Amino acid sequence: MTPVRYHSGQFPPQNLDLQRLLPLIGPAHAEIAGYEGMLKGLPNANVLLSPLASQEAVLSSRIEGTQTTLTELLTFEAEGDLSDESTPAKAEIREVLNYRLALYAAIDMLKEIPLSQRLVRDSHEVLMQGVRGYNKAPGKYRRLPDTCWIGPPGSTVETARYIPCAVEELNSAMDVLESYMHEEPLDSLLQLAIVHAEFEAIHPFLDGNGRMGRLLVPLFLFAKELLSSPSFYISEYIESHRNDYYDGLLAVSRDGDWTGWCAFFLTALTEQARANQQKIHDLLKLYDERKELIVEATHSQYSGRMLDWIFTRPIFQTTDFVKNSDIPEPSARHILRVLRDRGLLKEIIKARGRQPATLAFTDLLNIVEERPLL
Annotated catalytic residues are: 203
Q: Is 246 labeled as ligand-binding?
A: yes
Q: Do the strands 4-5 and 358-360 form a parallel or antiparallel pair, or are they unpaired? A: unpaired
**What Å distances lie between residue 52 and 76, 231, 370, CA to CA?**
17, 9, 12
Q: Is 98 labeled as ligand-binding?
A: no
Alpha helices in 80-141 (DSSP H): 88-110, 117-128
Q: Is 64 labeled as ligand-binding?
A: yes
Q: Is 352 labeled as ligand-binding?
A: no
Report whether 139 contacts 149 (CB < 8 A): no
Quote helix, strand, coil % in the chain, to nearest 5. 60, 5, 35
Q: Is 208 labeled as ligand-binding?
A: yes
Residue 185 burial (CB count, 10 A): 16
Q: Do the strands 162-163 and 4-5 form a parallel or antiparallel pair, or are they unpaired? A: parallel
Residue 107 has what DSSP assignment? H
User: What amino acid occupies position 28?
Assistant: A
Q: Is 210 labeled as ligand-binding?
A: yes
Closest to 335 in 3D by CA, of 313, 309, 314, 315: 309
Q: Is 209 labeled as ligand-binding?
A: yes
Q: Do the strands 358-360 and 346-349 form a parallel or antiparallel pair, or are they unpaired? A: antiparallel
Q: Is 37 labeled as ligand-binding?
A: no
Q: Is 162 labeled as ligand-binding?
A: no
User: What amino acid occupies position 158?
Assistant: E
User: What amino acid occupies position 150?
Assistant: I
Report whether 280 contacts 37 (CB < 8 A): no
Let me know if 41 is exposed, middle or buried by CB neighbors in 10 A (0-12, 13-18, 19+).
exposed
**What Å distances lie between residue 239 and 1, 65, 242, 355, 373, CA to CA?**
26, 11, 5, 36, 19
Report whether 244 contacts 264 (CB < 8 A): yes
Q: What is the spatial distance between Cα 363 and Cα 191, in angstroms, rounded to a whole number? A: 38
Q: What is the spatial distance between Cα 249 and Cα 253, in angstroms, rounded to a whole number? A: 7
Q: Is 207 labeled as ligand-binding?
A: yes
Q: What is the spatial distance between Cα 184 and Cα 227, in angstroms, rounded to a whole number? A: 17
Q: What is the spatial distance between Cα 348 and Cα 360, in angstroms, rounded to a whole number? A: 7
**Feature table: binding site for ATP:** 64, 203, 207-214, 245-246
Return binding residues: 64, 203, 207-214, 245-246
